[in-house]
Amino acid sequence: YDFVWARHKEFHFTGYADEPEAAWEAMLKHPGKPCFLTDSGDNVTAGAPGGNTVVLRQVLAETDYHGKQILIAGITDKKLCESTLAGKQAGDHVEFDVGPEIDALSAKVHLSGTVISTGDLHNHYHDPKVVGVCWTIKLDEKPVTVVIQSYSVSFAERAQYEQANVDLDAYDLIIVKQGYLYPELKAMASHYVMSLTDGACMQRTERLTYKKVIRPIYPLDEI
């Protein structure tokens, strides 16, 4: 214990992790493809709901996409899928508000675009069970495509994209609801980053709200 504690300030994230603005800028400006950005605060493989729209808003606020085609895979909004998107097919133009409004992080965002495909949702590890459906929508006037899904799965393996009828190879930058990037995607990545976003699975433990802890405690306190 004493040996570990003596080095407690040396522990850090493995791989490349950064705050949301820096993470986004790094992936947007990287010349290679594909790049991956993981929305770690809304990591559905760790139990997060998958409906946070913070990174979506970050992407939409951009004014220079550096010629990149961007995929957000995806945003979970079951009610939207069961109402506005139900029955929509490839080629249909749609306009809607996405975001389950669980909290401020999943506030609704107004989008309009064209459905380019529909497909099935499967969990990773090649799970054969269909757990939901999704719509892939190319947004109007922006090089951004968003997958709207009825059930929270993380697009961690190529097979999941194929089952959802999403062309993984068509995009320069892919944003996924994961923490550390899954091995199959990592192997194909030109570059990747874990964006330290807020949410149910926030990686910056010092930003969590603690109600019953004995103080002082690291990293909340400098000890």
Beta strands 93-98 and 109-121 are antiparallel
For 113, list phi and psi in degrees, rounded to 5: 180, -170
pLDDT tens digits, one per residue of 86-127:
999 999 999 999 999 999 999 999 999 999 999 999 999 999
- Output the pLDDT for position 158: 97
5 — pLDDT class (breaks 50, 70, 90): confident
- Output the pLDDT for position 223: 84
CA distances from 29 to 3, 10, 35, 37, 122 (A): 41, 29, 10, 13, 32
User: Looking at the domain assignment, is residue 215 inside a domain?
Assistant: no
User: Looking at the domain assignment, is residue 146 inside a domain?
Assistant: yes
Host domain of residue 178: 12-196
**Nearest-angstrom CA–CA distance, 109 and 129:** 30
Query: Edge-to-edge strands of the sheet including 93-98?
Result: 17-18, 191-195, 35-39, 173-176, 70-76, 144-149, 132-139, 109-121, 93-98
Task: Please check the confidence at residue 2 and state whether its pLDDT lies above 90.
Answer: no
Residues 6+ apart with CB under 8 A from 158: 168, 184
User: Looking at the domain assignment, is residue 21 inside a domain?
Assistant: yes
Taking residues 167-184, what's their average pLDDT?
97
Taking residues 209-215, what's their average pLDDT?
86
User: Looking at the domain assignment, is residue 153 inside a domain?
Assistant: yes
Task: Please check the confidence at residue 72 and state whether its pLDDT lies above 90.
Answer: yes
pLDDT tens digits, one per residue of 12-50:
777 889 999 999 999 999 999 999 999 999 999 999 999
Compare 1 and 162 and report the one with higher pLDDT: 162
User: Looking at the domain assignment, is residue 212 inside a domain?
Assistant: no
Q: List the one residue out of 161, 157, 114, 120 whose CA is nearest residue 139.
A: 114
- Total tally of structural domains belonging to the chain: 1
**Nearest-angstrom CA–CA distance, 126 and 116:** 24
